[in-house]
Amino acid sequence: MALTEVSSNKSFGGFQKVFEHTSMQLGCKMKFGIYLPPKAEQQKCPILYWLSGLTCTEQNFVTKAGAQKLASEFGIIVVAPDTSPRGCAVPGEDENWDLGTGAGFYVDATQEPWSKHYRMYSYITAELPTVLQKSFPVLPDKQSIMGHSMGGHGALVCCLRNPGLYKSVSAFAPICNPVQCPWGHKAFQNYLGADQDAWKLYDATCLVLSYEGPPLDILVDQGSADSFLTAGQLLPENFTNACSKKQLPVVLRMQEGYDHSYFFIASFIEDHIKHHAKFLLA
């Protein structure tokens, strides 16, 4: 559980830091970014997780999203973990940009050679929160989650599979129905095997139909000029249709002209932090 501080930069009165630790779930060293607002120097604060997308590390959100100003104003700790284990010498993990390194898909792999190290679901929902609670002034009963693309998929899945664990959830251009898209087929076949019932445990559109937890107000932003939307990788309409059947409130905002990049995320991150603040500060 020992943490090593990798970097620290003062930002909007607080500190944007990066730490490294040895993960028992993943069997390797992992890094995460954490923004500690000024309020964290005097008291415990709510925590908001950000899950990044394919090819990303903890640095993408830390340096490009521009979340620190709002996190400082609201007194929210923001944590951005890496997207996969690294340096584990898993055969094939560096051969494809959408499988292996940088592409953990927030699942617990059950298939060799992935199953020993690729356990991002348990890392995000169990191990990392325990590490944070032991080392930082976080309120464990006040946490929310958001993410982008593969990380938007991860945020929705983590929330829907753990009713009550997160106060709120939001996503930018999430992979909403991976059992129906090429990215999901590739990742799930490799990580989870041929049994598609196992795939459905990591599919937000499937999970929402059986959700029985506390009420959720879900916010999703999607750029209309996103090439992955037109390629059939994201399928937000499948998710919103499932939410409608379940009568679970969801707001899908189609943002005209925006693509899949962090320019899109930076344009609307304020709305998302305000969305979470309503629930974290209540």
Run of H or E residues at 271:
helix 262-280
Catalytic residue at 224?
A: no
CB 38 within 8 A of CB 272: no
Does the annotation count 226 as an active-site position? Answer: yes
The Cβ of residue 38 has, within 10 Å, a number of other Cβ atoms equal to 14
Please identify which of the residues 11, 72, 149, 168 carries the catalytic annotation.
149
Nearest to 47 by CA among 160, 156, 131: 131
Pairing between β-strand 250-255 and β-strand 218-223 as defined by DSSP bridges: parallel
Q: What residue has token string 């069997």?
A: 27
Q: What are phi and psi of 74, to 5 degrees?
A: -90, -10
Partnered with residue 47 across adjacent β-strands are 77, 143
Task: Point out the catalytic residue in the list 23, 170, 226, 272.
Answer: 226
Contacts of 76 (CB under 8 A, 6+ apart): 37, 45, 46, 47, 48, 70, 273, 276, 277, 280
Exactly one of 117, 148, 153, 260 is catalytic; name it: 260
Evaluate whether 89 touches 55 at the Cβ level (below 8 Å).
Answer: no
- Report, as residue numbers or ranges, the catalytic residues: 149, 226, 260
